[in-house]
């Protein structure tokens, strides 16, 4: 297959973008009074308004052509068939199987060469975490001294942290308020010490979440946790009542001292950043209970089904992805602001940073050639309305090109006077202001002094998406996460990259391993660059 930029569909989009360069969103809306209703799609309870993107009907048609030319349909089916679409690691990426109802079939090639249906194992593990979390929640599972568990601490990092902490925050409304949840990820001792300061060891349960069980940050924190526990309880046997593990690596879990009976597994076909709905979500289940967790899986699955079957032109994740490609590759947008107008989604931007940038922040194609086009934009964000009083200035009048995803809910989980209307009004106003701006003539007509006219003018024409659902529920959260997972996958297909590996995090890890002993031992000779050598000398203990 020719390189992406050689595809006729890519070239057609490039030519189309040139012809489109001077078209303003104001013109597009003026020309089509139905635009705001027409350029929308609704799926699984999520309403997606993409009318404030700089697109015409032709653009959408050409983007679907590009998806076809890149073999998107085949790639989706390859994912569903459990093919090794993570080509550099020779693994399937079958997170859709984690939310498959019993009876659906998903197969992967086993080590023995046999084709195994993974759904029974998925449900067996689910049943085990349901059983365990119910025993903790109802007080049957007790700590070593016989007291019930009151605090749950998830120790994990990256994909073994960001999904669980995001989901726990997002679903706090549904969670058991008499249980305390903490998440320790950073190897910085401050993270652990601050998380532990007010917890009672006799009533604390640690979940050591690590796919590989070799991640040094997680193991360091897990060792610190064991020391903290044993200092208080004084008996090695306490570990069995206060530690469980979520991992694929039973031998390392056992070596750490956690009874394999208290280990919940997952599989190499689940990428870390795609694992919040596996046993890695144990903390989520402990917080919200099995029924809510299953409802979340139901939301994921409903979006999966929509993604697999809906025609591309009406497919929410596909459209979301194609618009990102359009903005990134043809309109020069460099970054995406994720703006949830819901305080419970405060960790959602951080979660998406990993999902999107670890998946698609790559500069080589599947075949190892250097991509001659942009890949993942930079993701960042904050809940509205807080962001409005900080970085929105740049969004409205800065020189950078940013797209915004506004996420909101019609009904609040915490109605307080008219504050929810105030919140929603802000969401709508920001999206409108970005799109339509304010012309110099409008500013003058308002009586502004001439010298301030340029300062008070807003160019507008800044693209945004609006995603709305009725209410933040476990199901709507699951559907939202699945939407972004699939959007990220589609973008990776268009960019011809492996969205499921993460080689880019390796080099720093290797260098850190070499520097650790050099910080400890002032006598070790240093052979780095002069900057690193000088910094090590400055930071050495002695
Ligand atoms: C995610 C990445 C990465 C991973 C962490 C933790 O997709 O692979 O963020 O989740 O490095 O790894 P472990 O779960 O193996 O500790």
User: Ligand 1 pocket test: which of 93, 158, 161, 362 has the largest number of ligand atoms within 8 Å of its C-beta?
Assistant: 158
133-166, pLDDT tens digit by residue? 999 999 999 999 999 999 999 999 999 999 999 9
> Is residue 111 scored above 70 in pLDDT?
no
Residue with tokens 């067996």: 124
Distances (CA, A) of 307 to 311, 313, 409: 9, 11, 22
Q: How far apart are CA 129 and CA 135, in angstroms?
A: 10
199: nearest Cα among 233, 234, 245, 236? 233
Q: What is the DSSP letter of 497?
A: -
Residues 58-86 have a mean pLDDT of 97
With a 6 Å cutoff on the Cβ, whether 39 touches ligand 1 is no
CA torsion through residues 67, 68, 72, 76, sign: positive
Distance CA 316, CA 323 (A): 11
Q: Is the pTM of this model over 0.95?
A: yes
Instruction: Name the closest-CA residue to atom 1, ligand 1.
Output: 272
pLDDT band at 1 (very low <50, low <70, confident <90, very high): confident
Q: Residue for token digits 């990134």?
A: 328
502 Cβ below 6 A of ligand 1: yes
DSSP notation for 44-95? TTEEEE-TTSS--HHHHHHHHHHHHHTTHHHHHHHHHTT---BTTTTB---G
Query: For 482-519, what is each residue's pLDDT tens digit?
Result: 999 999 999 999 999 999 999 999 899 899 999 999 99
Catalytic pick among 389, 432, 470, 520: 389
274 CA closest ligand 1 atom index:
7
Instruction: Determine the Cα–Cα distance for residues 160 and 282; give it in Å rounded to an integer.
Output: 11
The predicted model gives 446-450 an average pLDDT of 97
Residue 132 has pLDDT above 90, yes or no: yes
| Ligand 1 centroid to residue 508 C-alpha, Å | 14
Q: Is 164 in the pocket of ligand 1 (CB under 6 A)?
A: no
Got the DSSP string for 83-96? ---BTTTTB---GG
Question: Which H helix or E strand runs over 296?
Answer: helix 282-309
Q: For residue 147, indicate whether it is catalytic.
A: no
What is residue 542's predicted lDDT score, i.e. its pLDDT? Answer: 63
pLDDT score, position 16: 97
224 in helix, strand or coil? helix
Q: Quote the CA–CA distance of 53 and 467 in Å, as a whole number.
A: 13
Q: Is 435 exposed, middle or buried (0-12, 13-18, 19+ CB in 10 A)?
A: buried
Helix orientation angle between 8-20 and 57-69, rounded to the nearest 10 degrees: 160
CB 54 within 8 A of CB 19: no
Measured in angstroms, how far is the CA atom of residue 501 from the centroid of ligand 1? Answer: 10
Q: Pick the catalytic residue: 147, 314, 432, 509?
A: 509
Answer whether residue 110 shows pLDDT above 80. Answer: no
Dump the DSSP string for 311-370.
Answer: -GGG-HHHHHHHHHHIIIIIS---EEEEEESSGGGTTHHHHHIIIIIIHH--SB-TTSPB
Q: Determine whether 362 is an active site residue.
A: no
Closest atom of ligand 1 relative to the 280 alpha carbon? 14
Residues 6+ apart with CB under 8 A from 470: 45, 409, 410, 411, 476
pLDDT in tens, 393-442: 999 999 999 999 999 999 999 999 999 999 999 999 999 999 999 999 99
Active site (annotated) includes residue 104 = no
Buried b (16+ CB within 10 A) or exposed e, 405-426: bbbbbeebeeeeeeebeebbeb
For range 323-350, the mean pLDDT = 98
Strand-pair category, 402-409 with 464-469: parallel
CB atoms within 10 A of CB 180: 18
Centre of ligand 1 from the C-alpha of residue 274, in Å: 10
Which residues are bridge partners to 180 per DSSP? 151
In 159-235, beta strands by DSSP E: 180-184, 204-209
């Amino acid at each position: 297959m020719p390189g992406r930029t050689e595809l006729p569909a890519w070239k057609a989009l490039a030519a189309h973008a040139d012809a489109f360069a001077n078209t303003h969103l104001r013109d597009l809306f003026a020309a089509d009074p139905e635009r705001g209703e027409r350029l929308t799609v609704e799926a699984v309870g999520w309403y997606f308004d993409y009318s404030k993107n700089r697109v015409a009907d032709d653009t959408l048609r050409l983007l679907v052509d590009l998806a076809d030319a890149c073999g998107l349909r085949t790639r989706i089916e390859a994912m569903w068939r459990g093919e090794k679409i993570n080509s550099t690691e020779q693994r399937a990426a079958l997170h859709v199987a984690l939310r498959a109802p019993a009876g659906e079939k998903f197969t992967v090639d086993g080590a023995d060469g046999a084709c195994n249906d993974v759904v029974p194992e998925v449900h067996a593990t689910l049943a085990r975490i349901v059983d365990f979390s119910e025993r903790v929640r109802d007080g049957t599972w007790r700590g070593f001294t016989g007291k019930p568990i009151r605090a749950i601490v998830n120790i994990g990092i990256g994909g073994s942290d960001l999904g669980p902490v995001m989901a726990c925050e997002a679903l706090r409304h549904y969670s058991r308020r008499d249980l305390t949840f903490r998440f320790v990820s950073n190897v910085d001792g401050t993270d652990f010490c601050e998380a532990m300061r007010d917890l009672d060891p006799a009533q604390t349960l640690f979940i050591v979440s690590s796919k590989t069980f070799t991640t040094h940050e997680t193991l360091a924190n897990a060792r610190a946790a064991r020391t903290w526990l044993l200092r208080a309880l004084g008996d090695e046997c306490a570990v069995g009542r206060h530690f469980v593990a979520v991992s694929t690596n039973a031998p390392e879990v056992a070596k750490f001292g956690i009874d394999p009976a208290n280990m919940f597994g997952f599989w190499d076909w689940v990428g870390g950043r795609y694992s919040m709905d596996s046993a890695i979500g144990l903390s989520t289940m402990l917080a919200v209970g099995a029924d809510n967790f299953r409802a979340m899986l139901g939301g994921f699955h409903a979006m999966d089904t929509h993604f697999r079957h809906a025609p591309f032109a009406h497919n929410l994740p596909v459209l979301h992805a194609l618009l990102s490609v359009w903005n990134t590759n043809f309109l020069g947008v460099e970054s995406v602001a994720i703006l949830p107008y819901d305080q419970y989604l405060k960790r959602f931007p951080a979660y998406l940073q990993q999902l999107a940038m670890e998946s698609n922040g790559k500069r080589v194609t599947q075949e190892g050639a250097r991509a001659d086009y942009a890949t993942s934009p930079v993701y960042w964000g904050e809940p509205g309305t807080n962001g409005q009083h900080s970085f929105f200035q740049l969004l409205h009048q800065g020189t950078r090109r940013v797209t915004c995803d506004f996420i909101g809910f019609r009904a609040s989980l915490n109605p307080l006077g008219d504050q929810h209307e105030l919140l929603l009004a802000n969401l709508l106003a920001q999206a409108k202001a970005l799109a339509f701006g304010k012309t110099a003539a409008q500013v003058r007509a308002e009586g502004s002094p001439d010298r301030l006219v340029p300062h008070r003018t807003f160019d507008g024409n800044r693209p945004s998406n609006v995603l709305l659902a009725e209410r933040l529920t476990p199901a709507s959260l699951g559907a939202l996460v699945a939407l972004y997972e699939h959007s990220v996958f589609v973008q990776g297909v268009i960019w011809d990259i492996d969205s499921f590996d993460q080689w880019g995090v390796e080099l720093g890890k290797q260098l850190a391993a070499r520097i650790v002993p050099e910080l400890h031992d002032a006598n070790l000779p240093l052979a780095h660059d002069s900057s690193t050598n000088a910094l090590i000398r400055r930071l050495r203990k002695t």
